Structure 1
Amino acid sequence: MDSLPDKHIRNISRSSRPRSSTRGPLDASDDPLALPKTPISPIKHESMLAADDTFSGASFYELDPLAPDDLPETLEKDLTFLLHHGNFHTLSHLDIPPPLRSEFLILNPGEPLSTSLGALEKLLAEGRFLIAAHFSASILTSSLISPTDIKIIFSLFYTRLACLDLSGNTVLAAQESKALEDLSSAFYYIDLKLESAAADNDKDPEHEQDPRHIVPWPLRVLAVRLQSIGFGDSRRSIGGLYEIGLEARREIMRSEATEAERELWKQRLADLGVRSVNALIEMGDFDAARRSLDSLRMSGPESNITKLRKALLLLRIGDLDAASQVFGDANERKEAALLKPLISMSDGRFADAVAEWRILGEDKTRTDGALVAQNLAVCLLYVGQLDEVLDPLYSIHLLEGSCERID
């Protein structure tokens, strides 16, 4: 039987634009996909830390728990085209203030891959995203990586793009995402039926799996946005989200899928709906974004994180009243508490925001102290309290040991 082509060929069976429908694929459905009310954890991830509390690098093998395992030899994919030095830009930290700079980590070719991955995990845990972006590219272009080790290659490529985006280098990430080319091409799909056909010729065709995508879901979602920026086509983002949304719905309705897998796919589908609204905002179409946000329907009760994401989108649109009403009466929740000073900032009430950020900063149980401190410093600038601006910032950096205060 012929093997899959090893070049990027457009899969003509998948639409490149949203289908005309009153209910899009990013709207959660109620009937065929109904699940038990009690959420089921789809995946039990291994800890990022090894037994001796050191970073082990295991998380890079777990980027997508539903991705196909190691491929059979007959279906191996050669990803050499993603490992070229020319795919990655040279990074610089010259635009970072000297007290906050860290030297780029140099890869030691004599160390095993697990050691390098552990070092990269540590950088990510410390929030050193620019350094992590540089180090992930160093690993990708080294002799430590086999061109057929798809899990590690895609995980490191995702880490590179995500860290560039988080460190303010979105344009570079958009350019580098082009190396993936067309993620809907047949190259990125595997047909597991080809491998098992000889051993199971009598298998019921109705229960055969559809071709599975080998790229981890987080990378696919990120690439949709970055490639739309890289190619200068904002509509590409909306079309790409709807395209993978259709695939997510097919996975949910797959008869052999477990309840845990369906729950994970439903979460992904809800996430795509929110991302589609964000894409419309980035296009500048605030009216369409507002309508899309109102029409989003979630299966079951919304989580606090989902509500917060909706509130932040409403703030970007400029609808402060709607944003303040997202949480209803749950004003004591941490997410709602975070939203209150953001609304004050959006309304230009920076003095109120200073007081509200200070209250949040006094809560030692919060894990977002750096975010609170940074926003407090910004508000202090707006109210003219320049002598107090450095205090919240240096309190965070001194705690992390990343700089020394210079008065």
Structure 2
Amino acid sequence: MALITKKIKGTEDVLPKESYRWQFIENVMREESGKFGFKEIRTPVFEHTELFARGVGQTTDVVQKEMYTFDTKGGESVTLRPEGTAGAARAVLEHALENEGLPIKASYFVSCYRYEKPQAGRLREFHQFGLEEYGTQSPVADAELICAAQSIFDRLQIQQLRLEINSIGCPECRAEYHKALKEYFEGYKDELCDTCLSRLEKNPMRILDCKSPICSKIAEGAPKITDYLCEECEEHFKSVQRYLDSAGVKYTVNPTIVRGLDYYTKTVFEFVTDCIGAQGTVCGGGRYDGLIEELGGKHLPSLGFAMGLERLLMVMDKQGIEIPDFSECNLYIATMGESAKEKAFELAMTLRESSMTVETDVVGRGLRAQMKYADKIGAKYSMVLGDNELEQKKAVIKNMNSGKQTTVRLDENFLEDFIIMETTDEDSSDIALGLQKDE
């Protein structure tokens, strides 16, 4: 029988056998960002379209080409979020979170949607982890944010990752830079792609981010933003570098980084790798001091970053980084007969109340098939219950790796016996490993 439908192009399923990988890196991100004082925020998957048009920017590829936008039955234009910052900023503004004290530090896990040609590392539905900070213009915050990202990569043991930083200035000094860029690119109007020709009038900095080989080659000779920074922006950028130096964070200054969204000001940065091909940016962010004002609020300097979970997992796979699976089954209870099933259910619930993972047969398999299933799910221990075990009120628990067998009582002492058995078993393994190391 043919399937009625399959997943939509550009989307992926995270299957049960893979979900522990996502959970592991998500837990690392929560723990590391928590050390820096960030707390989770959750926002709707769709917003009014004008939020992204104003926040992300009318001249960006995201707004012009990639957003999933539709009209509701009430005639409102809404858009599936293409990124996480605009929604978080809207929530901060709408709920007046600045009244709770500054700075506001928020973290998020979001699914995002962009209509792009699917390829390795680029999907139409993808997932991001992000940090957002509101209410500080200090360069210390910039450096601290970058250090938070670095701590996550260090905890995940990711190598071959380089940090590139830049400053794209404030609106005042950037106006002079725009004039210089426009004058430069005017000399190449006949060679620029159609998209960049439109950018030339609206936002010439966007040409620096064009992926066309011809435009990229032309952009190599363009003026550098770092030569046009005002005194305040230049000092801010130097301060960020000093704080990164004091933290021992290695970086390079890359004057071509402009990021893909219009709300950025001053500091921008990317963590980049060459090990997964063209889509090598696994984390990008910076400062966006005018975003809250653009959305209708008072001046509230802000900054943040987002990292793609799919790309991060690709990097870890490419580098052979093993992700531990802590969801192993502690015990599988195989049964023979209805009375044994009832007892197995009771014992399983007892162990589960102590935060152990326990499974027993729920599909009516025979004993041999149950044991095959226990092996398939990687059960650490197995136990068989039948009439004899119930009569004697004792059963044998088997270590599925070593084959070692231990007898436990099937009464109120079962939990205690199991914990003692498991602890003794682990201690024995540790001793054995120690002897091997000594030898």
TM-score interval for Structure 1 and Structure 2 normalised by the shorter chain: under 0.3
Q: Which has the larger radius of gyration?
A: 2
Greater strand fraction, Structure 1 or Structure 2: 2
Structure 1 length-normalised TM = 0.24
Structure 2 length-normalised TM = 0.23
